[in-house]
Chains A and B, each alone.
Chain A
Amino acid sequence: MSEKKANKWGGVLSKDDSSTKKPQFGDGNDAIAWAAQDSGVDYVSHYPGSPVNRVLDVLSAEKSPDYLINHALNEHIAALATLGASLCGARSLLVMKHVGLNIAADPLNYSAVTKIKRGMVVVVGTDPGARSSTGEEDVHWYAPQFNLPLLEPVSVQNVYDLVKQAFVFSEETQMPVLLFVPGRIAYQSSLIDRNVERRVAERFQFHKDPENLINVGARAVRNHRGHILRLQSFQAKTSLSHPQFNKEASFGVVTRGASHAICCEVIESLGLQDKVALLNIQLTHPLNIQPFIDFAQHKSKIVIIEDQDGFLETMIKREAFGKVGCELHGKDTFPVWGELDDAQIRDFFTQEFNCEQEISPKITVDCPERPGSFCEGCPHRSSFYGIDGALEVLTEPEAETRTKAETLEKTLAKTEPPRKGQKSRGVYFSGIIGGDIGCSSLPPHRTDWLLCMNAGVGISQGIAQLVPQQPLISTGGEGSFFHGGIVSLQSAIENNINLTHLIFDNRSVAMTGHQDSPTSSGKTDMRKLLEAIGVNHIFEVNAFKSSEVSEAIQTAQQIQGVKVIWVRGDCALQPNAEALRRFKERKLFIHNDRCNGCSLCYDKLQCPAIVRKENKNKQLVIDLQRCRRCTACLDVCPNHAIEVDDPNG
């Protein structure tokens, strides 16, 4: 594939022409993709993750792309593949979310010493406020660890401009350039001015370069030195710092990323343009401190307003130490957690300048969080119903244990009543469910932890070894399994760990936008793969039959060693032809004369398509507008009150 492209593109690099397109309306994801296209990107690799999950949708939608796409199975592979492309003379783009940078960190630590031959841009979607992630980890600290330049856009247009700029900086420094896009800019939309560079790529070729690519011994130290000198040279001559408002004001504000726009709006709406000087810094690593020192002249106080840990504040204080005389504040004023919002910044300026504000009456309401839920027809819903059922059986205590537990329950109930539906506090006989990232973790209460990729199969191993008496089921989707779960499972086998692991195979990396997985592409035979790594007990079950899931778990728990329950059921939002037929032809009913109101389907299965009638009896009915005809509810009803009418069986 690469060979074909190299031949097609044989030619000499030139940037002799460019054209401007009509402004287009797009969001931060569009801006990243369009900037890459307009920069003549040759190669793109990624691992999907919000908030930059749409970048590859945009790039993939191009009918006749001038670039190759590598849908890597994890960020480590994506980073290495992208590095390989840049070593062959291709402009390359790497896209991942913030936690993916942990996985890609190993190769990125070494990327700069290779002296890449063409620009490599690493776009990372960050998530202050953890809107679409399990954590708001601040990945800024990787920039000084990798010793790579870091750019931080403030708006959608700025995303576009800085991605293009990043390719230029990368080629200038011969090292990858990082670009962080926070969620609220990635999902913000506005008009984007585009400017297309017309490039004819060089013939891609890998030149042997042992001086830079065999990085051991004395060469490793020398290459490290070369890398740092290149970075220092770049730092000395490059700064992307923009002063605004009254430069002579004695009060200064420094911003980066998304906090810039909020500060501008607050300063303008409070009429403080004459009283405040603002400096926005886009190249936050390596930090050229001179513009800041110039800005700090005649200031009595400067506050650095940024999301998260205070990376820019740290860099400024490090570089400006002993060079400025004014007060410097940052994280002593604003929190390191959450996403800074208008209210926090407005409050700060209002107090600082004793502004009068028109204050609207404060509105207080009681609005519970809407936790994630499985979609109608989601295979995970009935799978978890099956897991719960199995654990109920497996944790049924002996009479003596039960008596002790019940006594303790009664004692505890006096101080803290159990919630409705809560059978036990888990003092004696609760089962453990290991949770993983992905759609299977959407209702956050279904598993016992929700932390990072492969935490299901990973954390479970330590627990299984230390508390073997407690029934434990580890879970994870097939996306996680192929991301790093294979090695985790193999490690459990090598260590003779007694583990029952469920792989939810919905044939889609669903949560991040339904990217293909190796089981949907059909290129990987899951059973053979599991057998090859030493799994001797594989149970293949239908995700929509909770009883099958439950029975398989109960059987597996009687067997020592690693057992895999391969739970198969397609994502409801990616219906195959049979699912579409079912949806069109099937109808499901609840026979109210047979329903005894146990409400397992409503309360425990929690299918959104099963609703209560707004009548006196509050009877349960199936909303056929919502029902996906997965028939998971049939398996749940103990009274056979739910029936399916399918003219074609």
Chain B
Amino acid sequence: MANLNRETKVSNLIIAGIGGQGINSLAKVLANALLESGYHCQFTVHKGGAQSLGCVFAEIRIGHKKLAILGQGIPQGQLDFLIALEPWEALRHIRLANPDTIAWVEEKPQALFVERSNERPIESPQNQLSALPVSMHWRSYQDEAKEKFGTHKMANYLAGKDCLMALKKDKISIEPKLFDKLFYSTIKKAVVL
């Protein structure tokens, strides 16, 4: 493949989770923070019909220069960063990863409900992810958010902070203060809390 050089390289990030965790809101905050920091980006949020508890993920594509026309999906093997608020949802997108991909993943799974009717035994997502040749960072976003902010709903804030850290690897820098400002002004629940 003709690799893109640093100037034209696109950094690809997926934020994944389930409905109700604030994936869409976090993607919007990050996108605005990137734009205000002088980068270019496009993102696509994928969600099904469920209002909550269904799969949700945002594909964010970031460039130092104005993005050429890019497909809406991240190509196979070109996922640079994966931030997941739920380990099954990390597993769902890990197929796009390569050996340099870095992942930050919540360690506590949320019920799939097929588990409860127990149609077939499935290896835990933690075990499956740990066995892969991908740099994994296990996090306790939900518990940490509950401890720090009194609610697990702020887990997306902590995931956002990890996104900022992750993007530094590709020399994409967002001021934490800018992220905080945008997060608290965009996400009403954060203000209420």
Given A265-B69, A360-B76, A606-B113: A50 and B49 within 8 A (CB)? yes
Given A50-B49, A346-B75, A573-B52: A421 and B69 within 8 A (CB)? no
* CB-CB nearest in chain B for A271: B2
Q: Is A358 a contact of B75 with CB atoms below 8 Å? A: no
Binds B, one of A246-254, A368-376, A484-492, A581-589: A368-376
Given A360-B98, A365-B91, A375-B20: A269 and B113 within 8 A (CB)? no
Given A367-B91, A421-B117, A625-B152: A262 and B46 within 8 A (CB)? no
* B114 CB to nearest A CB, Å: 5
Any A CB within 8 A of the CB of B132: yes
Binds A, one of B27-35, B160-168, B173-181: B27-35
Q: Is A132 a contact of B68 with CB atoms below 8 Å? A: no
Given A265-B69, A271-B2, A367-B125: A625 and B117 within 8 A (CB)? no
Of the candidates B72, B98, B117, the one whose C-beta lies within 8 Å of that of A420 is B117
Bitwise, B42-74 to A at CB < 8 A (1) or not (0) is 111111111111110000000000011111111
Q: Which residues of A contact B27 (CB under 8 A)?
A: 189
Please measure, in the bound complex, the distance between the C-alpha atom of A360 and the C-alpha atom of B92, giving whole angstroms: 17
Q: Which residues of A contact B114 (CB under 8 A)?
A: 368-369, 371
* B181 CB to nearest A CB, Å: 16
Q: Is A421 a contact of B55 with CB atoms below 8 Å? A: no
Q: Is A360 a contact of B116 with CB atoms below 8 Å? A: no
Q: Which residues of B contact A442 (CB under 8 A)?
A: 49-50, 54
Q: Is A187 a contact of B48 with CB atoms below 8 Å? A: no
Given A367-B92, A419-B117: A270 and B72 within 8 A (CB)? no
Given A188-B43, A367-B88, A603-B117: A372 and B1 within 8 A (CB)? no
Any B CB within 8 A of the CB of A642: no
Please measure, in the bound complex, the distance between the C-alpha atom of A122 and the C-alpha atom of B128, giving whole angstroms: 47
Given A189-B42, A258-B72: A625 and B151 within 8 A (CB)? yes
Of the candidates B1, B18, B35, B94, the one whose C-beta lies within 8 Å of that of A370 is B18
Please measure, in the bound complex, the distance between the C-alpha atom of A439 and the C-alpha atom of B55, giving whole angstroms: 15
* B190 CB to nearest A CB, Å: 16
How many cross-chain pairs have Cβ atoms below 8 Å apart between A and B?
178
* B63 CB to nearest A CB, Å: 11
Given A184-B73, A375-B20: A370 and B54 within 8 A (CB)? yes
* B87 CB to nearest A CB, Å: 10
Q: Which residues of B contact A511 (CB under 8 A)?
A: 49, 51
Any B CB within 8 A of the CB of A261: yes
Q: Which residues of A contact B42 (CB under 8 A)?
A: 156, 188-190
Q: Is A372 a contact of B94 with CB atoms below 8 Å? A: no
* A130 CB to nearest B CB, Å: 9
Any B CB within 8 A of the CB of A510: yes
Any B CB within 8 A of the CB of A342: yes
Interface size (A, Cβ < 8 Å)? 69
Of A363, A372, A445, which is in contact with the most chain B CB atoms at under 10 Å from its CB? A363
Please measure, in the bound complex, the distance between the C-alpha atom of A131 and the C-alpha atom of B54, giving whole angstroms: 11
Any B CB within 8 A of the CB of A361: yes
Please measure, in the bound complex, the distance between the C-alpha atom of A374 and the C-alpha atom of B88, giving whole angstroms: 18
* B103 CB to nearest A CB, Å: 12
Please measure, in the bound complex, the distance between the C-alpha atom of A247 and the C-alpha atom of B116, giving whole angstroms: 57
Q: Is B2 a contact of A270 with CB atoms below 8 Å? A: yes
Q: Which residues of A contact B99 (CB under 8 A)?
A: 360-361
* CB-CB nearest in chain B for A445: B117
Please measure, in the bound complex, the distance between the C-alpha atom of A419 and the C-alpha atom of B91, giving whole angstroms: 25
Any B CB within 8 A of the CB of A602: yes
Given A265-B75, A372-B49: A366 and B116 within 8 A (CB)? no
Q: Is A185 a contact of B72 with CB atoms below 8 Å? A: yes
Of the candidates A188, A264, A265, A270, the one whose C-beta lies within 8 Å of that of B44 is A188
Given A342-B73, A421-B117: A25 and B68 within 8 A (CB)? no
Any B CB within 8 A of the CB of A608: yes
Given A343-B76, A375-B20: A187 and B45 within 8 A (CB)? yes
Bitwise, B77-114 to A at CB < 8 A (1) or not (0) is 10000000000110110110111000000000011111
Please measure, in the bound complex, the distance between the C-alpha atom of A366 and the C-alpha atom of B116, giving whole angstroms: 17
Any B CB within 8 A of the CB of A268: yes
Any A CB within 8 A of the CB of B118: yes
Given A360-B77, A420-B118, A606-B113: A132 and B45 within 8 A (CB)? no
Q: Which residues of A contact B116 (CB under 8 A)?
A: 602-603, 606
Any B CB within 8 A of the CB of A191: yes
* B89 CB to nearest A CB, Å: 8
Give the residues from 329 to 362 in chain A that come closer than 8 angstroms, CB to CB, to chain B.
Answer: 341-343, 346, 355-362
* B107 CB to nearest A CB, Å: 12
Any A CB within 8 A of the CB of B119: yes
What are 29 A-to-B residue pairs whose CB atoms are below 8 Å?
A50-B49, A132-B49, A184-B72, A184-B73, A188-B72, A189-B31, A191-B35, A260-B69, A261-B70, A265-B71, A265-B75, A270-B1, A342-B74, A342-B76, A358-B1, A360-B97, A360-B98, A363-B97, A364-B95, A367-B91, A368-B112, A370-B18, A370-B92, A372-B48, A375-B50, A419-B117, A419-B118, A421-B118, A603-B117
Q: Which 10 A-B pairs have the closest CB atoms?
A: A360-B77, A262-B71, A271-B2, A360-B98, A190-B42, A184-B72, A342-B75, A188-B44, A372-B50, A264-B69
List 13 extra interface pairs beyond A361-B133, A372-B49, CB under 8 A: A131-B47, A132-B48, A190-B43, A261-B72, A264-B68, A264-B69, A357-B1, A358-B3, A358-B77, A360-B97, A369-B114, A420-B118, A421-B118
